[in-house]
Structure 1
Amino acid sequence: MNLKKSIKKYFTKPTVKTTVGTLNEFTRVSWLEKVLKDIPKGNKILDAGAGEQPFKRFCDHLEYVSQDFAKYKPEELNSGLQMEKWDYGELDIVSDIASIPAENESFDAIMCTEVFEHIINPRDAIKEFSRLLKRDGYLIVTAPFCSLTHFAPYHFYTGFNKFFYEEELVKNGFYDIEIIPNGNYFEYLAQEINRLSQVAKQYSNVDINQKELENISQLKVLLQKLTDKDSNSSELLCFGFHVLARKK
């Protein structure tokens, strides 16, 4: 073996692969799939703020109804994080989420995923969900705890703490409330570090060089170690919360 290659083999640090900061969406979608598949066959579910209806695929055993206000157009405003294109498809109901044209107790389940931060008054939406749900009906909610500007101009809150759900759900007649954090403090930091190159280029017109990328990689290794040993740092910061509750 060439001496130079031999030295390099034994003194070059091995590349450590990390997943830290990359599992936000995967964890959320996996949780939604499980919860939706556990809803009894034939139940009627409202997808409130359905957007492009990405979770309709988990509702084949249910009577699925989609609702959205259908006003988001990414080409109208170049601010923050925007989708390149957006297609609502065929929505069953086009309305304000806090004023849905349906009778009281029309649904066995309601899901509302990554929508609350885009509603001027999410408290009104919870009240409306309570009206629309049958007794013992399921409410399924996900929303960020902290988020960057996205879907502008329809981005009104950066996120919601678990205390918001505890207060508002009980007030509006929900019980058996389960609130699960998605990610933790270290995961969230890693998520933003993972998009640092993109943001640096967009907002500072700076290309991060190879040495800087190596430093970032080492920081991610540290964050992976810390998240592996994490003990409830989600109370400080996390991606968001997954909420499951029943209507009294």
Structure 2
Amino acid sequence: MLEHCVDPVRAVEKIARLIKPGGRMILTAPFNSLTHFAPYHYATGFSRYFYEYHLDRLGFEIEELTANGGFFDFMDQEIGRMARVRRIYKAGWRGPLTVIFSQLFRLNARWLAEQDGPRMNRRSSELQCLGWFVVARKAA
């Protein structure tokens, strides 16, 4: 939801004020995303460091910070979007080689993702992931 806030830092600050001491805040946002729900898509790039910095500053202790996938999951997702993006933006002819190569790249990305550890604990998640799940408790 943070990517749809004009000022995501201010949004987190406002949510933090509403939570009682000892209460929990649950947040999730994509680490990187294509524009969606336009024109109400204002921000992207919510890394673990965004949450660590701002939640600590607001008096929250992070209880859980879990990445959704890793770099290779992200590549699989984006390669999977190629045909749709090509159609929308009329980006040329979709020949058999385009289909074959995109499917081979996706299979390779999926295989590499499996080698990268469990989906919710991929080693490459700090470099790139699909998003973060955060549970933080406000100091008593």
Query: Are 1:137 and 2:28 matched, yes or no?
Result: no
What is the distance in 2 between the residues matched to 1:245 and 1:117?
19
Q: C-alpha displacement at 1:225, in angstroms?
A: 1.3
Secondary structure at the aligned position of 1:156 is classed as: coil
The structure with the greater share of residues assigned to helix is: 2
Matched, 1:161 2:47: yes
In the other structure, the counterpart of 1:185 is 71
Q: Which has the higher contact order (CA 8 A, sep 6+)?
A: 2
* Aligned-residue offset at 1:207: 4.2
CA distance in 2, matches of 1:221, 1:131: 46
Partner of 2:59: 173
Cα distance, 1:147 vs. partner?
0.6
User: Which residue pairs with 2:133 in the alignment?
Assistant: 242
Aligned-pair CA distance for 1:205? 4.3
**Superposition RMSD on alpha carbons, in Å?**
1.4
Decide whether aligned partners of structure 1 residues 176 and 202 sit closer, same or farther in structure 2, where only a CA change above 3 A counts. Answer: closer
Q: So what's the TM-score if we normalise by structure 1?
A: 0.51
Greater Rg, structure 1 or structure 2?
Answer: 1
Q: How has the CA–CA distance of structure 1 residues 205 and 176 changed in structure 2, closer, same or farther, with 3 Å as cutoff?
A: closer
CA distance in 2, matches of 1:246, 1:176: 6
Runs of 4+ deviating beyond 3 Å = none
Work out the number of aligned pairs and report it: 134
Alignment of 1:65-144 (within 5 A): 115-144=1-30
CA distance in 2, matches of 1:212, 1:176: 44
CA contact (8 A) 1:201 1:207 kept: no
Percent same amino acid at aligned positions? 40
| Letter paired with 2:17 | R
Scaled by the length of structure 2, what TM-score is found?
A: 0.88
Q: Secondary structure at the match of 1:135?
A: coil
Question: Displacement of 1:157 after TM fit?
Answer: 1.0
Give structure 2 stretches of 5+ with no counterpart.
117-121
Q: What's the offset of the Cα at 1:132? A: 0.8
Gaps of 5+ in 1: 1-114
The corresponding residue for 2:113 is: 227
